[in-house]
Structures are given as C-alpha cells and as structure tokens.
Amino acid sequence: MADIPLGSLEVAGWLRRFDVPPMQVSRAANFGNLIELLGYDLNPPGEGSAAAEVVLYWRAAAAMEIAYTTFVHVLDAAGQVIAQVDHVPGDGAFPTTGWLPGEVITDRFVVPLPPDAIARAHAVEVGAYDPATLQRLPQLDDVGNVLDWRVLLPLQPAEAP
C-alpha cells in the first residue's frame, strides 16, 4: 500500500500578547479567579449609527477547561436588557480554553441598538458564563467574596470610576 498525499494543512494560533494595551478606561475586576477585566473602550452610537462598540480587555488569571462566553448587554434605567451580544471572545477566534495565564485578550463587540433603544440606553453590563450551564463567573473581591455576577459600566466612559 502506498502513501498518497492529499494536500497540506497549516495550523496557526493567534498572536499572543502579554502587555497591557492602552484603553479608554481602566476597570479592574476578577471573574472567578480565572479572568480579569483590565478595562474597556466604549464608543456609543454616533450620528447616523445604530450600534455601540465596546472593546473589553481581559487577562487570563489561570488556565481554563471551559470555553466561556463573554457578553455585553446594554441596559435601560430599570436594568432591563435592551440590546446584547454574547460570543466566544474575539467573535470565536480566542476561546478561553486557549488562553495562557497572563495573556491579554482584546475582545471587540459591536452591539446593534434598535432606534427606540438608543435614547433609553443607560449602562452596560459585561461578564462571562459557561454556555453549557449558563452559570456566570462571579465577580470576586480581593478575599474571594462574591460581589456580583457582572460588572456594570456607565454608558459614557468619562463617568467611569
């Protein structure tokens, strides 16, 4: 029996980054001692636009066995979700199971907003969850107490803490 070449296959990963890039707002948050939110960029819908752009900067705190889904939800003043995007980081390109401890991931979201929602948009919530169970990673304080299951970001970056 002879070997017959069928073609070639190239496997490539993504470009790894361990330095922290510049961002509009620094906002540290610990999600389950697995993922750290370092900060974000927020570009609300501009004139003639019906989408908000949110860029989250994550750092892997540990190796992960679960491919977590990250999310950006736009909330109204009552805390109701009026628009959302949930995805594997990097629109599927950077699953958390491939993150290396200390690696920094840039995760861009373009959140379409219905015209009636733009005026009602009040805040943005972000976080990560296990898509198999829908269990969110808890936001933890410095000693491991659960603070919340998300991080709230003001709609205008200038108002951020």
What are the tens digits of pLDDT across the range 136-147?
999 999 999 999
pTM of this prediction exceeds 0.85: yes
Between 135 and 157, residue with greater pLDDT: 135
Long-range contacts from 12-17, C-beta under 8 angstroms, 24+ separation: 13/98, 14/90, 14/93, 14/94, 14/98, 16/100, 16/103, 17/103, 17/104, 17/105, 17/106
What are the tens digits of pLDDT across the range 3-16?
787 777 776 678 99
Residue 161: pLDDT band by 50, 70, 90 thresholds? very low
The residues near 57 (Cβ < 8 Å, ≥ 6 apart) are 20, 21, 23, 37, 38, 39, 40, 104, 105, 106, 107
User: Which secondary structure element, helix H or strand E, spans residue 128, and what is its range?
Assistant: strand 123-129
Task: Decide which of 1.10.40, 3.30.70, 2.60.120, 2.60.40 is the CATH code for 25-140+148-156.
Answer: 2.60.40
CA distances from 90 to 54, 56, 71, 85, 107 (A): 12, 10, 11, 12, 5
User: Does 158 have pLDDT greater than 80?
Assistant: no
Residue 48: pLDDT band by 50, 70, 90 thresholds? low
Residue 135: pLDDT band by 50, 70, 90 thresholds? very high
What are the tens digits of pLDDT across the range 53-109?
999 999 999 999 999 999 999 999 999 999 999 999 999 999 999 999 999 999 999
- Please state the domain extents for the chain: 25-140+148-156
